[in-house]
Amino acid sequence: MKLKHLFALLAAFAITVPAIAEDDTPLGKEMDKISKALKAVNRDLADASKKADNLKKIADAKEACAAGAKMDPAKTKEVSAGDKAKFLEGYEAAMVELGKGLDSLKAAVEGGKADEAKAIIEKLNAAKKDAHRKYKAD
Ligand code: HEM
């Protein structure tokens, strides 16, 4: 390969890689924390000895949710000026709902109601799909 071709290839990479890495936003990081916490809770629901661990993970998810609610999704910059306020309002409302869902999950785990907790996690995952369709950049 000629040197100038190698440079062209490296330049193309330098442009493409940050574009791919756009998911790695501060909000994306909070979302990752929620995702990891819920996956672990879902896995350990039936194990009564993991109750305290599960409650700690739900508290961590709640914290990440509160932090994420204060951030603007990366997609905000694609929204027209006229639609921005409504977009952000909808985003914040969906994050408030997520917080409420996490509170219900906490109550179910505290009460040892594994089936109820499982159903709440399923609901949260459905709400996640809807929210990502609306607020997550492609
Ligand atoms: C169970 C609930 C949820 C889980 C587990 C979850 C998980 C995730 C994950 C894993 C990512 C990708 C992070 C990355 O690639 O670095 C993400 C991104 C994102 N999520 Fe969620 N999510 C949830 C709910 C929500 C809700 C309710 C909203 C909106 C109100 C939302 C908005 C977003 C946005 C906007 C991004 C892209 C990051 C950005 O724009 O900076 N998510 N989420």
The CATH number assigned to the domain holding 59 equals: 1.20.120.10
Distance 67 CA to ligand 1 centre (A): 12
Contact 137, 74 (CB under 8 A): yes
Cβ neighbors of 41 (< 8 A, separation 6 or more) are 54, 57, 58, 105, 109, 117, 121
Contact 95, 65 (CB under 8 A): yes
Range of the domain at 100: 24-135
Domain annotation covers residue 2: no
Closest C-alpha to ligand 1, atom 24: 128
Tally of domains within the chain: 1
How does pLDDT run across 78-91, given as a tens digit for each residue?
999 999 999 999 99
| Residue 58: count of CB within 10 angstroms of its CB | 24
E strand or H helix at 104 = helix 81-110
pLDDT in tens, the chain (138 residues): 565 654 454 455 454 544 444 568 999 999 999 999 999 999 999 999 999 999 999 999 999 999 999 999 999 999 999 999 999 999 999 999 999 999 999 999 999 999 999 999 999 999 999 999 999 999
Closest C-alpha to ligand 1, atom 8: 31
Closest C-alpha to ligand 1, atom 7: 31
